[in-house]
A = this chain, B = another copy of it.
Amino acid sequence: MIRRGYRELMATDAVTPMGTVSFRLGLLGVAQDALYATRLAGLGLKPKHVALLCVLRLRGAESQMELAGLLGVAPSLVVLLADHLEERGAIQRVRDPADRRRQSLRLTETGLRLLASATEVAAQLDEELALSLPAAEQAALNAALDHLLGRAPDRISAPE
């Protein structure tokens, strides 16, 4: 091994996180989230609101606490998200009769329609994505995302 000077370091293959999956996944994902947020503006929602609706639709939740765990956010944020969704008539807060500390969040028909609209927006993004991505790779990406998200509708947040 020879001591390398700055010039020689520059000449070697670049050592950057751009070579890693995780870094680029983060880069792309953050951008995608931001893009989705702007497209969602017309519905008066943010991606987090949609995520909450998803959990409600796909598995339900006993309490806001559980919801917070599933979404990977603080319980106090769930309060804010639920406030907004309730104002829009997308959900209803119902005191759990069995445990009156808990609020059961119930998806309304309005909420179901809102979720369908949000899905529409995401589907539109998928189409745009498909323009720069061969079908085979899109399918592969799909499968990889399935694996990483655990394929259980439970986990919306990050694994680990």
* Residue positions of A touching B, CB distance < 8 A: 6, 9, 14-36, 47, 50-51, 53-54, 57-58, 72, 109, 112, 115-116, 118-119, 121-123, 125-126, 128-129, 132-134, 137-138, 140-145, 147-150, 153, 156-160
Contacts and interface: CB of A to CB of B under 8 A. Distances in A.
Contacts of A29: 25-33
A99 B133 CA distance: 40
B158 A21 contact: no
Contact of A15 (B119, B125, B142): B119
Contact of A122 (B23, B34, B157): B23
Contacts of A32: 22, 25-26, 29, 158
A62 B74 CA distance: 42
A115 B159 CA distance: 26
Contacts of A134: 147
A42 B15 CA distance: 19
Contacts of A16: 53-54, 57-58, 115, 119
Given A29-B30, A156-B27, A137 B126 contact: no
Given A119-B16, A138-B144, A140-B144, A125 B28 contact: no
Given A21-B141, A140-B141, 6 more contacts: A17-B119, A21-B129, A29-B30, A30-B30, A31-B158, A137-B143
A111 to B, nearest CB: 11
B140 A137 contact: yes
